[in-house]
């Protein structure tokens, strides 16, 4: 799953998957603006066949937060 | 064609792979066929459409130059001299509108669309009057919130319809300038549940889901194709299991399926209906199949449900040769580019072969679900062009005449003898009002014999005609085999005592008979007198398609003054042009 998230992030945000770490965020990835954020969320949902509840979407702004939310959704 | 290989249908299935494929395709080192400048004027978040739009443009080797205006600053952008619209002059302005922001009161209990109607009218009129771009706008949907809780009442729907009616009315009166993408239809097809995502609507004012965005993108690309003159011109059909169900050589006349009302026959019957509808719009129809030729003609002649007739066909290759070779030979016979063809076949092997060897051909494989078969020909607007002219409707006849001319050609030893025997009459004149649509269409469509490949709308052509400092001439050609219609355009501008050739183009169907020399010579002579010219400037702007005219101005006798990466600029005093070609034809001037 970690791999899938990294791959989607790399495809959408145009960064090397190896460069993505826990703290990767709009502050460290230049292209991660609000439009890319929406695209990223849509792409993750599409790839992992999950749906994020709307209130958490704006909060998913680091790799770590995305990862923990996805694993909660997957097990929950 | 590496770019096309990145942009597979699979890549389109997931947003992440789509974005990655689009990015790679944009960076691929393959020459562009053309570019499309598209500016979105909008009142909500339409940006999610961008990867889909790029995907479909890149597939055509069109470089996407896409920009988005501010939220709800549409009129300002049209009026502001420094705005992207006025600086970059986009080919297309897409007005993406939601009624929710056109009139914030639209969800109120008793809503009347009067105010929104006024606003819409002002906006569209402004876009039509103040820009030269093709305007694409969308039919309005009922307010999104009401759609989401299924509470859009009949009265409100009726108010929205008033807005859409007005839009259609404007589009009908400006067919060359304004097009409508039917979002109502699109959302109807997918349904609100699948088509709108409430979460992104609430968070980012971006309501639409992937399949809807993809359809919206295709709607825009249809218009780009038409505007750039790259719509398909010829539909090539296989026969067995494509034009009818079954194999004529085995099943016989009684065994093949073509019943109008019963599947599987009805799918093929409808396919024939679609093909004939395209034929009426000027699309050429051809056959390319592995059959006994006589068997095929027998079906077309005698099968009670076969709609397609031999007279609808412009050409055919019914033999056991390789299909890719057959298609190339059709292209040569018809003198149109390989990229003008759509090929339909049921065999995955044949489809793969054609795609492999002729990637420019659009290949459609007969689908397993036959219900959607007939629609495949029409759904992506492959054959759409901006305006339909008389020439479009008569095209098959004209190509058939051309084929007869070619057959005769082989019986003459000397080309000049042959050309003389055609009794060609070229009429050169200023285009009349009725000619303007055709003149604009030729500038949009002509790729091969086109010195500068400048695409103009009917409005722009009208502007040149009205302007004393510019001139438009057109040429109509007929010979003893038939009328080829308006097939040449010459546009010039005046700069003091110098004439500048802005555009020179000839339809490919009259090439090879030296008409171009007579046409240019006559136009230049007339303008030299009218404008008291002492010199000419002309240029050749290279594209992927127009290499054949790279040295045209040299042949005319103009002097090459400057050349940079293939772009050749000419300048010349008067009086050095040869004129003996006139003898092979009669030229009637104005």
Dist CA A66 CA A75 (whole Å): 14
Q: For residues B389 and B50, which has the higher predicted lDDT (pLDDT)?
A: B50
Domain B3-228 has CATH 3.40.50.2020: no
Q: What is the CATH number of domain B234-372?
A: 3.40.50.1000
pLDDT band for B406, please (50, 70, 90 cuts): low
- Partner residues linked to B134 by β-bridges: B92
Residues of A in contact with B205 (CB under 8 A): none
Helices (H), B307-454: 323-334, 348-357, 373-376, 390-393, 395-409, 415-421, 436-445
Dist CA B403 CA B336 (whole Å): 13
pLDDT band for B392, please (50, 70, 90 cuts): low
Torsional sign, CA B509, B59, B360, B233 = negative
Yes or no: say if A69 and A60 are a contact pair by the CB < 8 Å rule: yes
Residue B446's pLDDT is 84
Residue B337's pLDDT is 83
Residue pLDDT, tens place only, B114-161: 999 999 999 999 999 888 899 999 999 999 999 999 888 889 999 999
Residue pLDDT, tens place only, B181-221: 999 999 999 999 999 999 999 999 999 999 999 999 999 99
Residue B421's pLDDT is 72
pLDDT band for B465, please (50, 70, 90 cuts): very high
Yes or no: say if B58 and B3 are a contact pair by the CB < 8 Å rule: yes
Dist CA B212 CA B196 (whole Å): 8
Residue B320's pLDDT is 84
Nearest to B14 among A46, A52, A57 (CB): A46
Closest by CA position to B391, among listed B516, B308, B311, B283: B283
CATH topology of domain B391-589: Aminopeptidase (3.40.630)
- The verdict on a CB contact (< 8 Å) between A57 and B199 is yes
Interface probe for B, chosen from A7, A8, A52 (most Cβ of B below 10 Å), is A8
Overall domain count for chain A: 1
Domains B3-228 and B391-589 share a fold: no
Q: Cα–Cα distances in Å, from B59 out to B148, B211, B291, B295, B367?
A: 34, 18, 33, 38, 21
Instruction: Indicate if the pLDDT at residue B430 is higher than 90.
Output: yes
Closest by CA position to B379, among listed B360, B361, B364: B364
The distance of Cα B12 from the centroid of its chain, to the nearest Å, equals 23
3-state secondary structure of B569: strand
Dist CA B176 CA B437 (whole Å): 8
Instruction: Indicate if the pLDDT at residue B321 is higher than 80.
Output: yes
Tell me if chain A has a CB within 8 Å of the CB of B206.
Answer: yes
- The verdict on a CB contact (< 8 Å) between A42 and B210 is yes
Q: What percent of chain A has pLDDT over 90?
A: 87
**Any idea what the CATH number is for the domain that residue A27 is in?**
1.10.1200.10
Nearest to B17 among A11, A35, A38 (CB): A11
Straight-line distance from the first to the last Cα atom of chain A, in angstroms, rounded to the nearest whole number: 15
Binding-site residues on chain A for chain B (CB distance < 8 A): 7-8, 11-12, 14, 34-35, 38-39, 42-43, 46-47, 52, 54, 57-58
Yes or no: say if B134 and B223 are a contact pair by the CB < 8 Å rule: yes
pLDDT band for B165, please (50, 70, 90 cuts): very high
Where in the sequence is the domain holding A66, given as residue range(s)? Answer: 2-74
Dist CA B252 CA B250 (whole Å): 6
Residue B524's pLDDT is 92
The distance of Cα B338 from the centroid of its chain, to the nearest Å, equals 15
Residue pLDDT, tens place only, B54-101: 999 998 889 999 999 988 889 889 988 888 898 888 999 999 999 999
Spans of all domains in chain B: 3-228, 234-372, 391-589
Nearest to A38 among B23, B51, B200 (CB): B200
State the nearest Cα–Cα gap between B193 and chain A, in angstroms.
15
Dist CA B316 CA B350 (whole Å): 17
Tell me if chain A has a CB within 8 Å of the CB of B193.
Answer: no
Closest by CA position to B366, among listed B274, B248, B260: B274
Q: In the predicted model, what is the mean pLDDT of chain B?
A: 88
Residue pLDDT, tens place only, B17-43: 999 999 999 998 888 888 999 999 999
Yes or no: say if B345 and B363 are a contact pair by the CB < 8 Å rule: yes
Closest by CA position to B51, among listed B11, B10, B105: B11
Instruction: Indicate if the pLDDT at residue B408 is higher than 70.
Output: no
Residue B567's pLDDT is 94
Cβ-Cβ contacts under 8 Å between A and B: the total is 46
């Amino acid at each position: 799953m970690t791999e899938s998230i990294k791959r989607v992030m790399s495809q959408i945000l145009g960064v090397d998957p190896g460069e993505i770490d826990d703290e990767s965020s709009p502050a460290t990835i230049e292209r991660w603006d609000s439009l890319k954020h929406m695209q990223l969320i849509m792409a993750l949902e599409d790839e992992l066949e999950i749906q994020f509840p709307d209130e958490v979407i704006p909060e998913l702004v680091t790799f770590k937060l995305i990862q923990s939310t996805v694993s909660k959704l997957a097990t929950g | 064609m590496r770019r096309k290989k990145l942009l597979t249908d699979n890549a389109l299935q997931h947003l992440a792979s789509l974005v990655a494929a689009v990015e790679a395709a944009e960076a691929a080192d393959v020459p562009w066929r053309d570019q499309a400048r598209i500016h979105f004027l909008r009142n909500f978040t339409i940006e999610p459409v961008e990867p889909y739009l790029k995907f479909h443009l890149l597939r055509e080797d069109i470089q996407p130059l896409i920009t988005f205006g501010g939220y709800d600053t549409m009129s300002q952008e049209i009026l502001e001299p420094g705005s992207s619209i006025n600086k970059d002059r986009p080919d297309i302005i897409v007005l993406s509108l939601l009624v929710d922001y056109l009139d914030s009161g639209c969800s109120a209990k008793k809503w009347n669309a009067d105010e929104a109607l006024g606003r819409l009218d002002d906006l569209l009129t402004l876009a039509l009057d103040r820009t030269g771009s093709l305007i694409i706008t969308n039919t309005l949907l009922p307010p999104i919130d009401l759609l989401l809780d299924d509470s859009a009442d009949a009265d409100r729907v009726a108010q929205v319809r008033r807005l859409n009616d007005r839009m259609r009315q404007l589009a009908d009166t400006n067919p060359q300038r304004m097009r409508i993408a039917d979002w109502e239809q699109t959302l109807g097809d997918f349904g609100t549940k699948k088509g709108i995502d409430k979460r992104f609507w609430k968070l980012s004012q971006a309501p639409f889901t992937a399949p809807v965005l993809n359809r919206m993108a295709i709607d825009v690309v249809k218009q780009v194709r038409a505007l750039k003159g790259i719509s398909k011109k010829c539909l090539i059909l296989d026969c067995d299991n494509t034009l009818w169900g079954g194999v004529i050589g085995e099943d016989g006349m009684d065994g093949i399926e073509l019943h109008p009302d019963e599947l599987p026959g009805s799918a093929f019957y409808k396919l024939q209906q679609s093909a004939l509808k395209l034929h009426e719009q000027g699309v050429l129809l051809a056959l390319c199949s592995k059959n006994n030729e006589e068997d095929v003609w027998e079906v077309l002649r005698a099968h009670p449900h076969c709609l397609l007739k031999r007279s609808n066909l412009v050409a055919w290759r019914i033999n056991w040769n390789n299909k890719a070779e057959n298609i190339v030979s059709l292209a040569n016979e018809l003198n149109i580019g390989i990229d003008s063809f759509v090929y339909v076949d049921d065999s995955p092997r044949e489809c793969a072969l054609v795609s492999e060897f002729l990637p420019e051909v659009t290949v459609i494989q007969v689908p397993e679900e036959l219900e959607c078969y007939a629609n495949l020909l029409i759904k992506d607007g492959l054959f759409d062009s901006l305006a339909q002219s008389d020439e479009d409707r008569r095209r098959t006849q004209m190509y058939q005449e051309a084929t007869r001319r070619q057959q005769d050609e082989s019986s003459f030893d000397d080309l000049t003898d042959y050309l003389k025997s055609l009794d060609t009459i070229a009429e050169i004149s200023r285009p009349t009002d009725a000619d303007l649509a055709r003149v604009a269409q030729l500038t949009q469509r002509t790729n091969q014999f086109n010195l500068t490949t400048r695409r103009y709308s009917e409005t722009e052509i009208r502007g040149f005609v009205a302007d004393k400092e510019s001139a438009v001439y057109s040429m109509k050609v007929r010979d003893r085999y038939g009328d080829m219609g308006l097939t040449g355009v010459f546009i010039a501008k005046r700069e003091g005592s110098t004439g500048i050739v802005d555009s020179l183009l000839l339809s490919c169907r009259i090439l090879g008979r030296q008409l171009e020399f007579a046409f240019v010579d006559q136009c230049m002579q007339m303008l030299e007198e009218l404008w008291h010219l002492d010199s000419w400037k002309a240029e050749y702007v290279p594209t992927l398609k127009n290499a054949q005219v790279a040295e045209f101005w040299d042949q005319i006798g103009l002097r090459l003054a400057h050349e940079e990466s293939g772009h050749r600029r000419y300048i010349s005093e008067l009086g050095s042009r040869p004129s003996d070609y006139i003898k092979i034809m009669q030229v009637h001037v104005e």
